[in-house]
Structure 1
Amino acid sequence: MPENTWKPGEIASEAKKIYLPRIESEYPHLPPSILYKDLPKLPAAGDSQCPKSKLLVAVIDKDPVDAALKWHEENAEGSKIAVKAIPVVSMANEGRPGGDWEFARKAQEEEICRRSNLARALTSTSKDSHYLIPSTGGIYSPSVGATQQHTVWEKFKCLPIISVVPVRRPKLNEAGTEYVFDEEKELMREKMRMVLRIAAHQQHKEICMGPFGIGPGMLNPAPLVATMWREILFEEFHGVFSSVVFAIESATDSYLRKEASTVFNVFKEEFDPSNIVRTQHR
């Protein structure tokens, strides 16, 4: 079926009837999701033996799930030992597992749910319900069965998903470039930190994410969010991770408030080596 004829509701219906039962049949003992209401702060300097420049960051024009699956395949190729899967960061709905994935909404979490069992994984728990997700909390789903984007579901691969709720529709200045309220800016930072704390707590050294908190329904300022990610990764969490990939599809990138560039280009520029490794020539 051509990609442009696909309707989200039809894909969701097919997933519920055919593919979710297949995933549950093929993977009957997937571990339950874990709700993190809070996690202790990591040491400010991370591993003192690992300099800031040790962290590698790439900004690529690709879907995050596809990127994480391919990345894991490349890591595992030729390896004689099990290689840890790459977690994908999902912009979660705080009240409903998967948000409006069964309907027409095309936000990131919903799109992931239409190609995986994430919606069910978010409610798989041996304890109480994970919802509502706390404001600065998150859910770690250790093993979500997923398939490549816009393909017939012939083969599933498992990957972890980190689900955290971004700040939605903060009050911005007239130019749309800065938060009016410091509380909303700091809340966004704390949510970003929670993403990284969950990954670190689960001993992941590599992470794949899209433009967390940016897009329709979010309205966080992309240039500022990109800067915040750079500061948090290279200052607060330096030495904790080895590689971080921001996978941002430019073809579907239709939002950047009052800016001519795409979100992809904003992140590409922010993580240019000249902005990370400073020299006397700057």
Structure 2
Amino acid sequence: MSTFARRKAISEDTLDRIPAVLHEVREGSQDSTFIKEQLPPLSREHCPNYAPSKITVVNSDSFTAARDTMRSASERKQDAKAKVAVLNLASDERPGGGWAETLSRTQEEALCYSSTLYPTLKASYYPWANSGPSSAAGVYSPAVVIFKDDLDHDCADLPRAEWRVVSVITVAAPRSPHLSNGRFPPMTLKWMREKIRLVYRMAAHNGQPYMVLGAMGCGAYECPPTQVAEEMKAILLEEEFKGWFREVTFAVYATQRNSNYDIFKDILDGVEIGGEVEAVSS
């Protein structure tokens, strides 16, 4: 069987089984919410004030990293049912980047092969603005069930005991931006920053203390990886987000076609986040 034919068989099997999976896993859902505009800044008085931790950058599929995060939290007795938000490096043009037809291997499509994500990306949401003041938009899917392994393991069925429910944040980076000396021009940078803030706010507003992020826009959308990594780091370290996340992991595949993993590893791995914020005076 050709690689394409194999991926087609996997995708068809995933889609066919989603209703039964969601019937069996009652906390799973096809529900989602389209976020049409930037969310308000986080309220410091509601901050959980998680202790400082260090960002981890791993060479991994995002759902595999999420499953590893949940397993590790449970083994350390830190959090028996860790709530994890996974960033979907999304298309803003069509659901799953057209996964059901293209059957490609981009990060968004990889998530669709392994889970119940696809039906939460409702056609009525698409397309949305990719650039401009209204481009901080996306989809929040609160209860996606991961029931298959990643593409590196041929999307083999996971044992029932290893199925996991995560939330997925679907936000698209600027698409093929015009760059100046390999960096975003000022307005595109402004829009990118708002998209990154939206990702972090979506996780925090929905009570997701663990985040699995990625090299946002650094694949098919051709965003500059060094600048994206720098911005994702700088914004995460802003006072607004201090204390909101127990653990942050960046899942970035190492490939022969780009150096995204090495860049994100160098800029983000081991960076300390978190810590208490000052109490709000009454």
Q: TM-score surpassing 0.5?
A: yes
Residues 1:7 and 2:11 are matched in the alignment: no
Q: Retained in 2: the 8 A contact 1:209–1:245?
A: yes
Report SS of the residue matched to 2:97.
Answer: coil
Aligned mates of 2:36, 2:271 — CA distance in 1 = 37
Q: Retained in 2: the 8 A contact 1:87–1:159?
A: yes
Residues 1:244 and 2:245 are matched in the alignment: no
Correspondence for 2:263: 266
Letter in 1 for 2:225: A
Q: Retained in 2: the 8 A contact 1:115–1:148?
A: yes
Tell me the TM-score normalised to structure 2 length: 0.79
What is the deviation of 1:189? 0.7
Q: 2:213 aligns with which of 206, 209, 212?
A: 209
Correspondence for 1:280: none
Aligned mates of 1:79, 1:123 — CA distance in 2 = 37
- Classify 1:121/1:6 alpha carbon distance in 2 versus 1 (closer, same or farther; 3 Å): farther
Aligned mates of 1:78, 1:229 — CA distance in 2 = 27
Correspondence for 2:168: 161
Correspondence for 1:220: 223
Correspondence for 2:234: 231
What is the deviation of 1:205? 1.1
Report SS of the residue matched to 2:141.
Answer: strand
What is the deviation of 1:186? 0.7
Q: 1:83 aligns with which of 81, 84, 88?
A: 81
Q: Retained in 2: the 8 A contact 1:98–1:113?
A: yes
Root-mean-square deviation (CA), in Å? 3.0
* Superposed counterparts of 1:1-282, under 5 Å: 7-8=3-4, 10-16=6-12, 18-28=13-23, 30-31=28-29, 32-38=31-37, 39-43=39-43, 47=47, 50=49, 54-77=52-75, 83-102=81-100, 103-123=102-122, 129-134=124-129, 135-146=135-146, 147-149=148-150, 150-151=153-154, 152-155=156-159, 156-174=163-181, 176=182, 178-179=183-184, 181-215=185-219, 217-235=220-238, 236-250=240-254, 252=255, 254-255=257-258, 262-273=259-270
Aligned mates of 1:245, 1:81 — CA distance in 2 = 16
Deviations 1:246-279 (A, max 9, x none): 01121x3522xxxxxx221211221255898xxx
Letter in 2 for 1:227: E
Which one has a larger percent helix, Structure 1 or Structure 2?
Answer: 2
What is the deviation of 1:154? 4.5
* Aligned length in residues: 255
What is the deviation of 1:220? 1.2
Give the gaps of 5 or more residues in structure 1: 256-261, 277-282
- Classify 1:85/1:205 alpha carbon distance in 2 versus 1 (closer, same or farther; 3 Å): closer
Deviations 1:76-128 (A, max 9, x none): 3485985133121001111211112132433211121122221112229xxxx
Give the gaps of 5 or more residues in structure 2: 130-134, 274-282
Q: Retained in 2: the 8 A contact 1:56–1:242?
A: no
Report SS of the residue matched to 2:99.
Answer: coil
Q: Retained in 2: the 8 A contact 1:46–1:238?
A: no
Deviations 1:206-244 (A, max 9, x none): 1002211112x2111111111111110112422221211
Q: Retained in 2: the 8 A contact 1:12–1:114?
A: no
Report SS of the residue matched to 1:22.
Answer: helix
Aligned mates of 2:14, 2:106 — CA distance in 1 = 21
Deviates more, 1:79-88 or 1:131-140: 79-88
Report SS of the residue matched to 2:201.
Answer: helix
Deviations 1:109-159 (A, max 9, x none): 1121122221112229xxxx3223452111111122222112322544322
- Classify 1:274/1:111 alpha carbon distance in 2 versus 1 (closer, same or farther; 3 Å): closer
- Classify 1:253/1:245 alpha carbon distance in 2 versus 1 (closer, same or farther; 3 Å): farther
What is the deviation of 1:69? 1.0
